[in-house]
Amino acid sequence: MRALSLAIDAHHALTPELRERIVENVRTRMQEHPYRLLSPEHFRALAALDTAGPPVVSLYLQLTPERRVGSGWRSALSALSHRISRTTDQSTRASVNADIEDIQGALDQQLPELGRGAAFFACRERGIWRQIALPIPLPDSIQIGPRPYLRPLLRTWGRSDRMLLALLSREQSRFFVSHLGTIEEIYRVKGQRIRGMLTDRVPRDRRDALAIQLMKDEAKALASMAEIIGQEFETSHILLCAPPDMSAAFRGHLSKESLSRLTAFETSVHASSAEIGAAAAAIQDQLKAQEERELIDRLREANPVAVSTGTQETLDCLSEGRVLTLVIDDSYAAAGTQCRLCGSLFEDARLSKCPVCGEADLDAVDDLVEAALQQALERRAQIAFVRDPACRSALSDKAPLQALLRY
Ligand SMILES: [Zn+2]
């Protein structure tokens, strides 16, 4: 797998056109290659998709080591497709079978190197095709309907689940995005060939000063690229590995916001993605735990009217559109109820009519958290998972579902 590469030096300054090209390249790249991490923009585009008719097949398949050996995944895929064939009419079945054939073809061709599984969203009739590497194991499932079934993916969509890794050196600089421990190289920049540029025409006593100036120019361009990639992927932190002089120059050109979310780490700029991911893992866990602790403190110390600290209260605020950040104990699982008319969610799974609007037509919801996540996405609320054991127990003292409120 090759990252996009680009040269920035005295002859190729980071012009607005070049900047635009970088953004375009990053976006195109995220569409082309199979088994990409999903960028937030693509995620929102999927969430907005509606064929208003032809069924989209949404299929989640775990890829455990056993399933990766030989074609171990085949029997799991065939079990999933049987689930559908029993329950649908003939024309839907034909359409779904065509999509499953395409999915099988894609898996035959290449299993994702990254991740713990794969998700597919396919509708041949409408030319819809997405294959995504899953950073966490999600249960096997298949759903058909006019809209992609994204709820399980929402569990990987916490606000500090994506981070940017910047590895800088004079020869080359590399940018990675990690998503819950899965890591992918996004961009590679060739450094300047300083020795070649400092020919005999440059007086010997000026060479050092010139070399430093070139390094500073390059660091400025790299800082600008880090900001672009960070915005594109909505990453929460920057992990930086760079020699001291480049590090100082790079930091000097970052925004205040990025700078406050930057941490140094050590690895080799020539290492493989997997090695770099491993080198960053411990520090990423620390950053996440620290973020979770800060969130718990904010919930505890905030004015009581600015937070919601009970599960049902949080669900009420969520459907009213008042939630700014939904905070979820990642291990919480419960069934619930959803009103078909007003969409409100309820912890009580045995309700006979909606306490908000009086509607008697209620849906049983087997995973209340996923339903709440879907609502958070629709209401543009941020999502924060609490995964650290100490933070989880601090949260659960009150409720596994809480929120910081907009008003
Ligand atoms: Zn209702």
302-405 CATH: 3.30.1330.30
> Across all residues in the chain, what is the average pLDDT?
88
At residue 34 the predicted structure's pLDDT band, cuts being 50, 70 and 90, is low
CATH superfamily of 4-29+159-285: eRF1 domain 2 (3.30.420.60)
Position 7 pLDDT exceeds 60: yes
Query: What's the pLDDT at 1?
Result: 41
CA of 384 to the centre of ligand 1 (A): 26
Q: Which two tokens stand for residue 101?
A: 């054939």
Mean pLDDT of 308-334: 96
Residues of the chain with CATH 3.30.960.10: 50-147
Phi, psi for residue 160 in degrees, rounded to 5: -110, 30
Res. 9: pLDDT tops 70: no
Cα(312) to centroid(ligand 1), Å? 14
User: From ligand 1's centre to the CA of 381, what distance in Å?
Assistant: 21
Read off the pLDDT of each residue in 66-70 and give the average, rounded to a whole number. 88
- Report whether pLDDT(133) > 80: yes
CB 35 within 8 A of CB 41: no
List, edge to edge, every strand of the sheet that includes 401-405. 307-308, 401-405, 323-329, 382-386
The residue-averaged pLDDT of 356-385 equals 92
% of the chain at pLDDT higher than 70: 91
Q: Which residues make up the CATH 3.30.1330.30 domain(s) of the chain?
A: 302-405
Straight-line distance from the first to the last Cα atom of the chain, in angstroms, rounded to the nearest whole number: 47
How many Cα neighbours within 13 Å face the side chain of 215? 19
Q: How far is the CA of 92 from the centre of ligand 1 (A)?
A: 31
The sign of the torsion formed by the CA atoms of 211, 212, 217, 219 equals: positive
Q: How far is the CA of 321 from the centre of ligand 1 (A)?
A: 15
Q: What is the pLDDT of residues 186-245, one digit of tens each?
A: 888 887 655 556 566 677 777 788 888 888 888 888 998 899 889 888 899 999 999 999
pTM: 0.84
Give 32's pLDDT tier (boundaries 50, 70, 90): low
The sign of the torsion formed by the CA atoms of 198, 203, 204, 208 equals: negative
- CA 311 to ligand 1 centroid distance, Å: 18
| Length of the chain (residues) | 407
pLDDT top residue among 9 and 301: 301
List every span in the chain annotated with CATH 3.30.420.60: 4-29+159-285
E-assigned strands of 171-286? 172-179, 182-190, 238-241, 262-264
Return the higher-pLDDT residue of 25 and 103: 103
- pLDDT in the model for residue 127: 92
Q: Compute, in angstroms, the gap from residue 315 CA to the centroid of ligand 1.
A: 13
Residue 150 clears pLDDT 80, i.e. is over it: yes
Mean pLDDT (whole number) for 325-335: 94
Which residue has better confidence, 21 or 75? 75
The model's confidence at residue 182, banded by pLDDT at 50, 70 and 90, is confident
33 pLDDT more than 70: no
pLDDT at residue 272, as a whole number: 93
Q: From ligand 1's centre to the CA of 361, what distance in Å?
A: 8
* Mean of pLDDT values over 92-101: 91
At 159 the pLDDT is 82
329 sits in which H/E element: strand 323-329
**Model confidence at 31: pLDDT above 80:** no
Please check whether the domain covering 50-147 is classified as CATH 3.30.960.10: yes
Rounded Cα distance between 260 and 255, Å, is 9
Q: What pLDDT is stored for residue 281 in this prediction?
A: 93
Using the mean position of ligand 1's atoms as its centre, give its distance from the Cα of residue 87 in Å: 29
